Every structure is written in C-alpha cells, then in structure tokens.
C-alpha cells in the first residue's frame, strides 16, 4: 500500500525537521458560505463601503487583495462582510480553469458580492490562497459543473483534500510568495510608465488633427516645414485573403505540419504579436495566396470582427506564416515600415477607422476606404528618426515585459515546489 508524501520539494531550513504536513478535508475545518448580490448599479465612486464583485476576481485581483477597487452605499446590514483572511472563489465562470481562481481578502468589513464562495478557517488566508491557485488549481477546476456556464458549489469545494504545516511555516511561505508578488507589481508599474511614455511621445511626434506639424520635433527637422498630406494608398499596398469563411476542417493541421495563419487573437491590445496559440494550415493552402505570405517589415490590420482596427508590426517570424480573412497586410512602398505602423496605431488613423467601419452583426472595414485615408508624413529621413526613437522605447517595453514574464514563471515554479506534490508516493 502506498500513500502521498506530504512534504514539499523545497522547504525553508528552519522547518526541515518538522515532518509531513497534516492532511485534512476543507469541509472538516472550514465554513464555506456565499456572498450576497451587489449589482453594477450599486457601485459608486464615493461609496462608504468597500466591496468585491465576483467578476473582479478575473480582472482586478490576484492571490492577495490588499486594496479594494469598488465601493457601494448599500447598507452593510443587507450584505455579507468579510473577516480578515477570508478566501474567496467565484461560484460561476466561463471555463473550469478560470473559475479556479482564489483571492485572500486581507481586510475585515469588505462587502462580498453574490456568486462568490467564501472560505473561512484557521489556516493563514494568504497561504491558502496561494495553495489553491497553485497545486490545487486543477483539482478545483475538476469540481466545476456546467456546460455553457461553469458553477462551483460549496459542497464540491468542501471535498477538497488539503495539507498544511505549522502556522509559522504557512506564514513563511505566504511572505515568500508575497515578496515575489510585490516585485512583479513594481516591474508592472515600470512597464506601465514606459507604455505611457511611448503613448505621450506618439501624441507629440505626430501632428494632431487639423495640424500640419507635430508639437515635438527633433532639432535637425525644425526648419523643414509642414508635413505633406497624401493618400495612404499611394504609400502602401493592401493585401488580404478573399472571402470571410476562413478555413475548412481539411485546411487545419497540427503544429509542425504546415504554416502559421495569424488571426486577430494573435494580436494583443498593445500591438504585440504572439505565436503561442496559432492556427496551422496546410502548405497547399498557404501557397494558394502568395500575395499574403508574411514578411518582416509589414503592418497587420484587423479589418473585420469585434477587434477591428487592431494593428501589429512584424519584426520577425518563427516560420512561414500568412493571415486569415479577418486581417489585411499593409505593405510599405514609399514610406518607412515602422513609421507606417506607428501611423496606423495612432489616434488620428484609429479615429478614421472607427468612423469608416460598417456596422451590423460583423463590423467590417473596407480595404478601399482604408487606401483613401488622408495622412500627413514628413520626409523619409524624419520618418526614420521617429521610427528609431520609438523603436528604442519598444525594445525597453519588450525587455520589461520579458522580465515580468520570467518572474511569473519563477513564481509558478515556486508555487509547485513550496507545496507537497500529490503525485509523489511513498511505500
């Protein structure tokens, strides 16, 4: 007969001789209750009472909630209020893995909205939150029920098997992971500052609507006069895949068996390109449209669907790639490639796109209309100077984003090693 080894892979030296963690079932030591509904209309900026609604666990908070974002004037007597160290988990969500999201409320007296499971026990709340979000996340996800909407009920959560060490070790683990979270938060603030700096430069290095010169100009170009107005189509070629049906089942293949076909989901709101979750199509389908085979230096523009107007610049490609029917390629002819991308991502062109899109069930942007957009551009030398300046900032942004990604991966690894691995067995 075998049983689980209840000792983590990594342990702080002062607890090395403490032996195995104590195993228990959540329902045996914890109360699991529900919050009480707080509607969106009840959220007010100057409300007297802090409150948390279940949707905010997906968007606003991580494992530890130290600062509450929402407030309400709904009387406290009509609501469910937190105790310090409560752990909350959504009671409903879109997917099983999303619903397995725990957060510790570090303050008492916070109103906890409906569709929230509230776990209250003698275990350190921060420790428990990290534990549930780490090695127990898949276990929690497996207990969710539903089809189009997932539900997580208290009686299902109550069956969760846990193991805990002494209070001192719980606190040590929570402090370790909390320090790493603080470091990630610091780097996130630096990233946001860099992004704001780039946004500010974009607004100043390009003329505002109705203006013919930018507010900020490099010294060597101050006396070169106004930017010239031209039609966008004279500076680029616009190429897209004909039709909107996408691909048939026969066109889709596994990774490594064909070319990448980029979709709007590969483009982030900030314009970053990701190839992690790409669709792959057959080589025959890829070669069917040689005019939309991607190359570095091109700008992508989403022309149809809810994310129309999103843009991305192709710096490099991991392999042969093309686009699906929702995207068009802007191929520069007589314009600096990166300057073109900056122009398309700027406020003026984005405003033109919003005005030009045709509504309906599927918002659509005409390639012909885009080609007729009036733009203002400086001489090529100034285009390159602007592109180089903002490209350097992009490199800083990218480097900072990579640091954050690395820290998150480090945290993920720690969360697996600082808690017992349920898959390891002992005789």
| Residue 36 · residue 80 · CB < 8 Å | yes
- Report the b/e string of 274-290 with b at 16+ CB within 10 A: eeeebbbbbeebbeeee
Q: Which CATH superfamily is domain 228-377 in?
A: DNA methylase specificity domains (3.90.220.20)
| Residue 104 · residue 87 · CB < 8 Å | yes
Domain residue extents for the chain: 20-164, 168-208+379-421, 228-377
In the structure encoding, which two tokens stand for residue 66, read together? 């130290």
The DSSP line for 48-86 is SEEEE-TTHHHHT--SEE-S--EEE-S-GGGSPBP-TTE
CA distance 255 to 275: 11
So what's the pLDDT on residue 1?
Answer: 34
So what's the pLDDT on residue 94?
Answer: 85
The DSSP line for 286-342 is HHT-GGG---TT-EEEE-BSTTTT-EEE-S--SS-EEE-TTEEEEEESSS-HHHHHH
In the structure encoding, which two tokens stand for residue 116, read together? 């929230």
So what's the pLDDT on residue 124?
Answer: 96
In the structure encoding, which two tokens stand for residue 204, read together? 């100043």
What H or E segment, with its residue span, contains residue 118? strand 116-120
Q: Which CATH superfamily is domain 20-164 in?
A: DNA methylase specificity domains (3.90.220.20)
61 vs 1, 83, 220, CA distance in Å?
Answer: 42, 18, 47
So what's the pLDDT on residue 263?
Answer: 92
CA distance 370 to 360: 19
If 0-12 CB within 10 Å is exposed, 13-18 middle and 19+ buried, where does residue 384 land?
Answer: middle
CA distance 386 to 221: 11
Q: Which residues of the chain have pLDDT under 50?
A: 1-3, 425-427
- The CATH number that domain 168-208+379-421 falls under is 1.10.287.1120
Same topology between domain 20-164 and domain 228-377:
yes
């Amino acid at each position: 007969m075998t049983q689980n080894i209840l000792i983590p892979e990594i342990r702080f030296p002062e607890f090395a001789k403490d032996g195995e963690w104590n195993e228990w079932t959540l329902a045996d030591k914890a109360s699991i209750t529900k919050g009480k509904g707080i509607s969106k209309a009840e959220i007010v900026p100057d409300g007297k009472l802090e409150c948390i609604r279940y949707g905010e666990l997906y968007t606003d908070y991580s494992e530890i909630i130290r600062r509450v974002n929402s407030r309400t004037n709904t009387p406290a007597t009509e609501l469910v209020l937190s105790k310090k160290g409560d752990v909350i988990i959504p009671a409903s969500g879109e997917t099983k893995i999303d619903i397995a999201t725990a957060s510790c409320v570090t303050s008492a007296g916070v109103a906890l909205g409906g569709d929230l499971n509230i776990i209250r026990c003698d275990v350190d709340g921060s420790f428990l939150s990290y534990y549930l979000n780490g090695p127990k996340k898949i276990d929690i996800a497996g207990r969710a029920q539903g089809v189009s909407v997932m539900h997580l009920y208290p009686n299902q959560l109550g069956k969760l098997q846990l193991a805990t060490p002494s209070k001192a070790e719980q606190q040590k683990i929570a402090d370790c992971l909390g320090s790493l979270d603080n470091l990630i938060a610091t780097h996130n603030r630096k990233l946001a500052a860099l992004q704001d700096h780039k946004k500010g430069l974009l607004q100043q290095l390009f003329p505002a609507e109705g203006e013919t010169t930018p507010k900020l100009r490099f010294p060597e170009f101050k006396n070169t006069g106004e930017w010239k107005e031209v039609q966008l189509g004279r500076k680029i070629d616009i190429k897209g895949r004909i039709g909107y049906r996408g691909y048939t089942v026969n066109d889709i293949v596994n990774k490594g068996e064909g070319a990448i076909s980029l979709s709007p989901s590969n483009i982030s709101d900030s314009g970053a390109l990701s190839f992690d979750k790409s669709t792959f199509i057959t080589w025959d389908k890829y070669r069917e449209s040689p005019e939309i085979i991607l190359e570095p230096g091109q700008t992508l523009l989403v022309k149809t669907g809810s994310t129309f107007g999103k843009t991305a610049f192709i710096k490099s490609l991991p392999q042969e790639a093309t686009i699906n029917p929702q995207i068009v390629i802007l191929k520069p002819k007589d314009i600096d490639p990166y300057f073109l991308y900056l122009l398309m991502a700027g406020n003026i062109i984005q405003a033109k796109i919003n005005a030009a899109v045709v509504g309906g069930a599927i918002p659509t942007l005409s390639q012909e209309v885009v080609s007729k957009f009036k733009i203002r551009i400086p001489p090529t030398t100034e285009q390159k100077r602007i592109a180089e300046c903002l490209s350097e900032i992009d490199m800083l942004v990218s480097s900072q984003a990579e640091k954050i990604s690395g820290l998150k991966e480090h945290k993920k690894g720690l969360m697996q090693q600082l808690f017992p691995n349920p898959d390891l067995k002992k005789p």
